[in-house]
Amino acid sequence: MVKKGLRTLSAMLLGGIGIAGGGAVFAQDSRDQDSSITIIQPDKTVEKAEFAAIDTERFELGVYTGSLSVEDFGNSAVTGLAFTFHIDPRFIAQLGYGQSDVGRAAFEEALGNDFLSDSDKEFTYTHVTAGYRLFYGRSFFGARNKFNTNLYLTAGLGNVEFAGDTQTGLVLGATYKVVLNDWLTCDIHLRDHIFEREFLDDKKTTQNVELAVGINFLF
């Protein structure tokens, strides 16, 4: 009986050792499998997105169109040309020319009579202004379209020919510039042509506000 118990105990011990040994082999196999795994890192460099900017280009030549409100004569369409020189990233200088065919004055409408000839109703101006970049940043048009933008304050002198007279006055305004790509920009400008006008023995300082949109070519 004792011998039979010893044999049973021996069999159990040998079985346990076999199980443990099998577990040890399994663990060893797992380590061997883990050590054979190779992690592949993608060799990919994400390039930083670059936005179009005015960098090496110093000049802009463009055209614009919009609306001109001539004091006492209402609103009329205006078209013009602009040449801009970028002195440095913060300062610009601009030479501009614009023309508008002005309609009747309010009192002309009331009287039903024209006091100006057709040639005298042509409002023509040239101006030389300087601009200071007040803000710069980016504008977002939709989820994917991002453009560098600049906001300039402008001031200078202008020469106006209107109502048979030529006067020199101030030009004050602001320009919002969007850089579309390396050779094209878009402007939205607001300008006030301030000059002294003498008309029918009435002499006064007038405010003539212009709002226009322009396209410019960089070079």
- Strand 122-141 and strand 145-162: the pairing is antiparallel
Q: In this predicted model, what pLDDT tens digit does every residue of 118-131 receive, in sequence order?
A: 888 999 999 999 99
29, part of any domain = no
| Number of domains present in the structure of the chain | 1
Percent of the chain past pLDDT 70, that is, above it, reads: 77
- Strand 202-218 and strand 59-70: the pairing is antiparallel
47, part of any domain = no
pLDDT level of residue 24 (50, 70, 90 thresholds): very low
Q: What's 140's domain CATH number?
A: 2.40.160.20
Q: In this predicted model, what pLDDT tens digit does every residue of 161-193 receive, in sequence order?
A: 998 899 999 999 999 999 999 899 999 999 999
DSSP state of 116: S
190, part of any domain = yes
- Looking at per-residue pLDDT, the higher value among 19 and 104 belongs to 104
Handedness of CA 197, 201, 203, 206 (dihedral sign): negative
Q: In this predicted model, what pLDDT tens digit does every residue of 36-69 receive, in sequence order?
A: 777 776 666 655 656 666 667 899 999 999 999 9
Whole-angstrom CA distances from 55 to 70, 88, 134 are: 37, 9, 18
174, part of any domain = yes
Would you call 161 exposed, middle or buried from its count of C-beta atoms within 10 A (0-12, 13-18, 19+)?
Answer: middle
Start-to-end C-alpha separation, the chain: 110
For residues 151 and 136, the answer to whether their CB atoms sit within 8 Å is yes
User: Residue 95 and residue 195: Cα distance in Å, rounded?
Assistant: 18
10, part of any domain = no
184, part of any domain = yes
- Whole-prediction pTM: 0.74
Question: What number is the average pLDDT over the span 75-100?
Answer: 97
For residues 187 and 210, the answer to whether their CB atoms sit within 8 Å is no
Helix (H) or strand (E) holding 190: strand 184-199
User: Residue 33 and residue 31: Cα distance in Å, rounded?
Assistant: 5
- pLDDT at position 17, please? 46
171, part of any domain = yes
- pLDDT at position 185, please? 96
**DSSP percent split of the chain into helix, strand, coil, nearest 5:** 20, 55, 25
Query: Nearest Cα to 182, choosing from 48, 53, 61, 90?
Result: 53
Structural domain including 151 reads 59-218
For residues 57 and 149, the answer to whether their CB atoms sit within 8 Å is no
Tokens of 199: 């008309």
13, part of any domain = no
